[in-house]
A and B are shown apart, each in its own frame.
Chain A
């Protein structure tokens, strides 16, 4: 019995709609060894089970977003130069870019985003995101998990005491019942000096780590190493080996009496099935897309990554995280994230004009259109955000620095309102002036839309009960 299963906790004592009490004492290990499922969805239909339990308790949440595509803009995009422009502010704040009208009255966007301007009718824009973490790793961890880091540390160390990525929580609580992974992330492990925490399952266990792809989806030979056999090992030969293995397993009788042995053997069955099946391979096979579609997304790593996200969601994957770039970047027009300080005689505006804004302009509207044309947008939530915004006042390098006190996040599809703005920043974009939103609240919103109660508890390595999101869902932006 899995103690993290809401259904079991509702059996316990007076716990009910609010979920279980902290249960003392059951061995974590015994649970893990009994459960230990996840990556390729080799699990009970978790979502179904959670929802049954919730229904019993009278609080079932509807699933508005079957899937989430989380587009993480590492480095920190400037809110003032994208979706929260301040044309009335002094020149040193408003910057050189002009706003243009979008398809939503009163919701101008940057002149460098004309295609995005026609998409705002689909967007729920949060303009009052805020927190206090000034360093990329701490802030990005906050953005990727919804939990405030213990320290504002430029090299915040990843450890099992930190919270898991959203997708890992989804895999834990609502994993798919299919050979597909529940949570896929790619194509970078993001790092700023050290690996940014919040990209994996942490204390939930490696079984809930993302199915991570490090290959470049834009490369010619893009394929998954997990789904390819090394040369010299044909599938027929592998089957021969498997037959021998089965014979030895019969001899030891372990499969008859050991749940650990049976658990392992299930994974062998699944692994061999995957190696011979085409369904999973197809989901990841970008060469099956028409050239025109590939071109539309852009022949670059991020563009093809967004296309892959659509393919994965189409085949049922529940949570896809696409990282814009491996690094915070900011000094180059050909690589790197959004961290444009103007260091080393670089300048922010020419860089984002050449790299970040065009890529955004190319991919995001394409993805939204594509999802919509295929009827996927209604139950796919797209989230576009970075770890913070950038300083309202332009610095001595004619660029902007880190600004967590106020920034924007975009949501679309998956049960959110379109053409809707939640919260507002003040006249200079420095602080929220209305309805401030913390990453905790955004996290609660994402879980809520996925039909997962944000107050669900999971257990850390110390067996402490921790709620998956401490914030409140932003109900106003839910359609």
Chain B
């Protein structure tokens, strides 16, 4: 019926005698009206006794259900107007889902005409949808400068019979950003200034349109900084387009604190802070970055991040395995192992998990589907979980892709030499040596039809291993090869996320056409740079941290204060759980107790999840603190498991909780040393400021601290109060 027009008479005029096509017209209506959504009839259990396959993934079943279900009462051939599929959605009779369309609108007309035409079913001969295009399109960012506030989106479909049709009326529109709302007619309107992606969806395809709403900014004039490298060129280029300026370059104290937290996972000491601030030498920031990259703490901190992603936790890997794996991760980073080699070693490791530490990754992911999903998420930045249960009709990954990829992992086997788990009923627990090995045979049954699935690399038609290939070697080879479009991009995005707080693709492991990067060109360029540098982690970090973009202040300018994205400034974020505990320990000069570890270990060095050991009935206050501030359990291969959100219970622990209170009031801590050091009050105050905030006290701060010392009586109490205030300040708690 393409090219159909709604005539004044209310009937559809179709070009070239096209009749209604079930697959291309009726299915589009079911989506347009929302009938097959998960919250409506697409629900696993349907709604009101009417159940449709989720989001139009199975037209044949839709056809059966509509024409034959409910004794055929959903459609009335004799009197089409009496059909339930017209009466219900137009709310002529009560419909729990409300009115979805009205008589006279295109969806209504299509359904009515379809019934009148005798309910033609899905026709294998109907033209197949090949491509969807949007206007404006081409993937370019559409910039709307105030007063412009809306954008009409048109969607065009190309079919296998060579026709190209305007399907804007039948497309479904969604906005995936807070800045825009989109009408069912495809008009995107500004809700707030900022960026959004509008998705136009028709049948099984979807096309993104990126739009930015920009305030007029009378008298806007570009004021940038030196472009240190291609990162600044890309970031500044876009800021200019959005009529924003980058904030100032941050001062030295802020830079040092930021860089030390990001690379070493801790605060600069008061000595480091003073030295750096008063360093008059050339290129001291670049020198500091190099210096930090060479520390042992850098390896500790970045091994922690990989330990999170690779599920290094005690229940499955046991204490020994966790320590072995962590040491391997740490050494790999310390020695500068190229990231492609690193990934390949993890994916192909065999043998004893005690003697060959990277084999712990496969030991941790014991189920074939878990291995498949987690490997895609960690190394490709692709989330496959949805495709396990249903074809996402408008995302790329199908159930065939999912099970083909999973089949590659189906020959992994474990030889459990011993299992000394304390709880014999706990099938998830392993204590003892295991061998990871590859069976000669082994296949994955497709749960849909019970047949063996052909193993196939994700997103390829011909990435099929031969009988002789070891499927994990085959897969690892592909993962790190330049032909694989995902690996390098997902790595640079992860690194960017860890340094900048927001990925270029966000969430950082969710690459898909409908979640486009904020700076596509930059992402590509960084990926190529990573490949060019032979996957050198430090090289990429150096590149990012030496850019002006990384070094921007968090203090906004009038032109960028409305935006929470775009990298026009640094967005302050809370320290990670381990960073926070280690920083408190460093400033207060006393070590908290982590059950099961020697006193003095830093939180970032804890190899596993700090699970409570049997001999400890209760977690220590520091164990509780780490969990509360988001240290993950390492059961998901996702950075999202490290919950970074602030919540009130955390603040209670900072205000008067047992760990911090104990550290502040401890008899043996830095405060005690200061009190008995014979230093002047002013010197003690300055020392605490340099330790906690990496800067000297401002005048007002020095005055009020001085007053505290003269009024509080005991020096010790004054020091405790000041220390509390410093570590509870936002400047301390946030990385800015």
Residues from chain A with a CB closer than 8 A to the CB of B652 are 226, 271
On chain B, the number of residues with a Cβ less than 8 Å from chain A's Cβ atoms is 98
A24 in contact with B515 given A38-B647, A206-B647 (CB within 8 Å): yes
Stretch of A9-17, A319-327, A422-430 at the chain-chain interface: A9-17
Decide yes or no whether A249 CB sits under 8 A from chain B.
Answer: yes
Task: Say yes or no: B636 contacts A25, CB within 8 Å.
Answer: no
Checking B174, B178, B641, B645 against A21 with a beta-carbon cut-off of 8 angstroms, the contacting residue is B174
Closest to B711 in A: A240
Decide yes or no whether B342 CB sits under 8 A from chain A.
Answer: no
Q: Shortest distance in angstroms between B458's beta carbon and chain A's nearest beta carbon? A: 17
Residues from chain A with a CB closer than 8 A to the CB of B428 are 153, 155, 157, 194
**Contact sample, A vs B, 5 pairs, CB 8 Å cutoff:** A14-B172, A157-B428, A160-B641, A258-B734, A462-B385
Stretch of A80-88, A395-403, A413-421, A463-471 at the chain-chain interface: A463-471
Stretch of A103-111, A262-270, A301-309 at the chain-chain interface: A262-270
Decide yes or no whether B452 CB sits under 8 A from chain A.
Answer: no
Stretch of B92-100, B133-141, B142-150, B159-167 at the chain-chain interface: B92-100
Residues from chain B with a CB closer than 8 A to the CB of A251 are 698, 700-701, 731
Task: Say yes or no: B698 contacts A13, CB within 8 Å.
Answer: no
Decide yes or no whether B536 CB sits under 8 A from chain A.
Answer: no
Closest to A233 in B: B656
Closest to B192 in A: A1
Residues from chain B with a CB closer than 8 A to the CB of A462 are 383, 385-386, 510, 638
Decide yes or no whether B539 CB sits under 8 A from chain A.
Answer: no
A260 in contact with B507 given A267-B650, A271-B652 (CB within 8 Å): no
Task: Say yes or no: A254 contacts B315, CB within 8 Å.
Answer: no
Complexed CA–CA distance, A15 and B693 (Å): 48
Checking B178, B651, B734 against A26 with a beta-carbon cut-off of 8 angstroms, the contacting residue is B178
Decide yes or no whether A48 CB sits under 8 A from chain B.
Answer: no
Q: Shortest distance in angstroms between B381's beta carbon and chain A's nearest beta carbon? A: 13
Q: Shortest distance in angstroms between A251's beta carbon and chain B's nearest beta carbon? A: 5
Q: Shortest distance in angstroms between B93's beta carbon and chain A's nearest beta carbon? A: 15
Task: Say yes or no: B427 contacts A229, CB within 8 Å.
Answer: no
Task: Say yes or no: B39 contacts A157, CB within 8 Å.
Answer: no
Checking A20, A27, A155 against B423 with a beta-carbon cut-off of 8 angstroms, the contacting residue is A155
Interface majority SS (helix, strand, loop, mixed), chain B: loop
A230 in contact with B648 given A16-B34, A157-B315, A248-B729 (CB within 8 Å): no
A264 in contact with B651 given A244-B722, A251-B701 (CB within 8 Å): yes
Decide yes or no whether A220 CB sits under 8 A from chain B.
Answer: no
Decide yes or no whether A89 CB sits under 8 A from chain B.
Answer: no
Which residues of A (214-257) have their CB < 8 Å from a CB of B? 226, 229-230, 232-233, 237-238, 240-242, 244-245, 247-249, 251-255, 257
Q: Shortest distance in angstroms between A247's beta carbon and chain B's nearest beta carbon? A: 6
Which residues of B (20-56) have their CB < 8 Å from a CB of A? 32-34, 37-40, 43-45, 47
Complexed CA–CA distance, A464 and B39 (Å): 13
Decide yes or no whether A132 CB sits under 8 A from chain B.
Answer: no
Task: Say yes or no: B176 contacts A26, CB within 8 Å.
Answer: yes
Task: Say yes or no: A261 contacts B572, CB within 8 Å.
Answer: yes
Complexed CA–CA distance, A3 and B405 (Å): 32
Given contacts A254-B734, A270-B651, 7 further A-B pairs with CB under 8 A are A14-B100, A14-B172, A57-B98, A230-B656, A245-B725, A245-B728, A252-B730
Complexed CA–CA distance, A260 and B571 (Å): 9
Residues from chain A with a CB closer than 8 A to the CB of B60 are none
Q: Shortest distance in angstroms between B177's beta carbon and chain A's nearest beta carbon? A: 6
Decide yes or no whether B322 CB sits under 8 A from chain A.
Answer: no
Which residues of B (555-581) have their CB < 8 Å from a CB of A? 555-556, 561, 564-565, 571-574
On chain A, the number of residues with a Cβ less than 8 Å from chain B's Cβ atoms is 94
Which residues of A (273-320) have their CB < 8 Å from a CB of B? 275
Task: Say yes or no: B641 contacts A14, CB within 8 Å.
Answer: no
A248 in contact with B726 given A11-B181, A260-B734, A272-B655 (CB within 8 Å): yes
Interface majority SS (helix, strand, loop, mixed), chain A: loop
Decide yes or no whether A207 CB sits under 8 A from chain B.
Answer: yes
Decide yes or no whether A18 CB sits under 8 A from chain B.
Answer: yes
Complexed CA–CA distance, A260 and B564 (Å): 11
Decide yes or no whether A412 CB sits under 8 A from chain B.
Answer: no
A18 in contact with B729 given A33-B645, A465-B38 (CB within 8 Å): no
Residues from chain A with a CB closer than 8 A to the CB of B176 are 23-26
Complexed CA–CA distance, A17 and B721 (Å): 54
Q: Shortest distance in angstroms between A265's beta carbon and chain B's nearest beta carbon? A: 7
Complexed CA–CA distance, A241 and B729 (Å): 10
A247 in contact with B635 given A42-B648, A455-B43 (CB within 8 Å): no
Decide yes or no whether B605 CB sits under 8 A from chain A.
Answer: no
Decide yes or no whether A433 CB sits under 8 A from chain B.
Answer: no
Closest 8 CB pairs of A and B: A244-B725, A17-B98, A25-B176, A207-B647, A267-B651, A1-B178, A155-B426, A32-B645
Decide yes or no whether A19 CB sits under 8 A from chain B.
Answer: yes
Checking B385, B572, B650 against A254 with a beta-carbon cut-off of 8 angstroms, the contacting residue is B572
Task: Say yes or no: A261 contacts B730, CB within 8 Å.
Answer: yes
A194 in contact with B174 given A27-B507, A205-B643, A260-B573 (CB within 8 Å): no
Checking B427, B630, B636, B725 against A153 with a beta-carbon cut-off of 8 angstroms, the contacting residue is B427
Which of A15, A229, A456 counts the most B-chain CB atoms under 10 A from its CB? A15
Closest to A272 in B: B655
Task: Say yes or no: B736 contacts A258, CB within 8 Å.
Answer: yes
Residues from chain B with a CB closer than 8 A to the CB of A19 are 39
Task: Identify the A interface with B (CB < 8 A).
Answer: 1, 8, 11-30, 32-33, 35-40, 42, 57-59, 153-155, 157-161, 193-194, 205-207, 209, 226, 229-230, 232-233, 237-238, 240-242, 244-245, 247-249, 251-255, 257-261, 263-265, 267-268, 270-272, 275, 455-457, 461-465, 467, 470-472
Decide yes or no whether B610 CB sits under 8 A from chain A.
Answer: no
Task: Identify the B interface with A (CB < 8 A).
Answer: 32-34, 37-40, 43-45, 47, 96-98, 100, 172-178, 181-182, 184, 191, 197, 199, 315, 383, 385-386, 423, 425-429, 502, 506-507, 510, 512, 514-515, 554-556, 561, 564-565, 571-574, 628, 630, 633, 635-636, 638, 640-641, 643-652, 655-656, 658, 661, 665, 693, 698, 700-701, 704-705, 708, 717, 721-722, 724-726, 728-731, 733-734, 736
Complexed CA–CA distance, A147 and B305 (Å): 31
Task: Say yes or no: B635 contacts A157, CB within 8 Å.
Answer: yes
Residues from chain A with a CB closer than 8 A to the CB of B315 are 157
Task: Say yes or no: A268 contacts B651, CB within 8 Å.
Answer: yes
Task: Say yes or no: B645 contacts A12, CB within 8 Å.
Answer: no
Closest to A158 in B: B633
Residues from chain A with a CB closer than 8 A to the CB of B645 are 29, 32-33, 35-36, 205-207
Task: Say yes or no: B731 contacts A248, CB within 8 Å.
Answer: yes
Complexed CA–CA distance, A258 and B700 (Å): 22
Residues from chain A with a CB closer than 8 A to the CB of B725 are 241-242, 244-245, 247-248
Complexed CA–CA distance, A11 and B43 (Å): 21
Residues from chain B with a CB closer than 8 A to the CB of A259 are 564
Task: Say yes or no: B728 contacts A268, CB within 8 Å.
Answer: yes
Checking B37, B427, B704 against A244 with a beta-carbon cut-off of 8 angstroms, the contacting residue is B704
Residues from chain A with a CB closer than 8 A to the CB of B658 are 230
Complexed CA–CA distance, A240 and B633 (Å): 37
Residues from chain B with a CB closer than 8 A to the CB of A22 are 38
Complexed CA–CA distance, A240 and B722 (Å): 10
Residues from chain A with a CB closer than 8 A to the CB of B647 are 36-39, 205-207, 267
Residues from chain B with a CB closer than 8 A to the CB of A241 are 721, 724-725, 728
Task: Say yes or no: B38 contacts A467, CB within 8 Å.
Answer: yes
Task: Say yes or no: A13 contacts B651, CB within 8 Å.
Answer: no
Task: Say yes or no: B507 contacts A29, CB within 8 Å.
Answer: yes
Residues from chain B with a CB closer than 8 A to the CB of A255 are 730
